[in-house]
């Protein structure tokens, strides 16, 4: 099933209870708001949920990392350099900033199928943990 005809409730239903080959399981719920969002929680990683939105141009998959206020004093420039350096070797993910919140994200074509979305959620969850570990020296 491709996601161009799939709604967030459809995607939530498909992801709920799904278990990956690595043994991670997903739970998902739609969060209504100005932009409806799917919140996906990965087992053993509940503190880093994945958020998915679908629009006419892409499927956006986002995980929140840290806020500007959590960066050690004097370490911001070095952190930004490290983020740019990690952007290419970090598979299927990139870093960005929304307001004062740093995020890691991946984007998929609207025509992507469910297996592609599952793979993106799995990889983004792994990359979130890797980013936090790799960049922890810059954080309070």
Cβ(8)–Cβ(14) under 8 Å? Answer: no
Q: Is the predicted pLDDT of residue 6 greater than 90, yes or no?
A: no
- Which CATH number characterizes residue 58's domain? 3.30.1460.10
Residue pLDDT, tens place only, 53-89: 999 899 999 999 999 999 999 999 999 999 999 999 9
Instruction: Report the candidate in 33, 5, 29 with the shortest Cα–Cα distance to residue 16.
Output: 29
Alpha carbon distance 111, 84 (integer Å)? 29
| pTM for the structure as a whole | 0.92
- Residue 100's SS3 state is coil
Number of domains making up the chain: 1
Beta strands in the chain (DSSP E): 26-31, 37-42, 50-54, 59-67, 94-98, 101-108
Residue range of the domain that includes 81 = 3-138
Residue pLDDT, tens place only, 113-124: 999 999 999 999
Residue 60 vs residues 28, 35, 49, 78, 95: alpha-carbon distances, Å: 15, 12, 14, 27, 13
The alpha carbon of residue 16 and the mean position of all alpha carbons in its chain are separated, in whole angstroms, by 17
Alpha carbon distance 125, 93 (integer Å)? 10
Environment class of residue 117 by beta-carbon count within 10 Å: exposed (0-12), middle (13-18) or buried (19+)? Answer: buried
Residue pLDDT, tens place only, 35-51: 999 999 999 999 999 99
Cβ(120)–Cβ(107) under 8 Å? Answer: no
């Amino acid at each position: 099933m491709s996601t161009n005809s799939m709604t967030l409730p459809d995607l939530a239903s498909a992801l709920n209870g799904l278990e990956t080959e690595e043994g991670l399981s997903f739970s998902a719920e739609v969060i209504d708001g100005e932009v409806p969002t799917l919140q996906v929680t990965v087992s053993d990683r509940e503190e880093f949920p994945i958020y998915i939105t679908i629009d006419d141009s892409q499927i956006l998959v986002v995980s929140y990392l840290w806020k500007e206020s959590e960066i050690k004093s004097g370490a911001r420039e070095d952190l930004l350099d490290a983020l740019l350096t990690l952007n290419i070797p970090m598979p299927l993910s990139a870093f960005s900033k929304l307001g004062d919140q740093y995020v890691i994200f991946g984007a998929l074509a609207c025509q992507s199928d469910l297996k592609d979305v599952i793979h993106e959620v799995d990889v983004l969850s792994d990359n979130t943990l890797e980013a936090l570990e790799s960049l922890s020296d810059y954080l309070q």
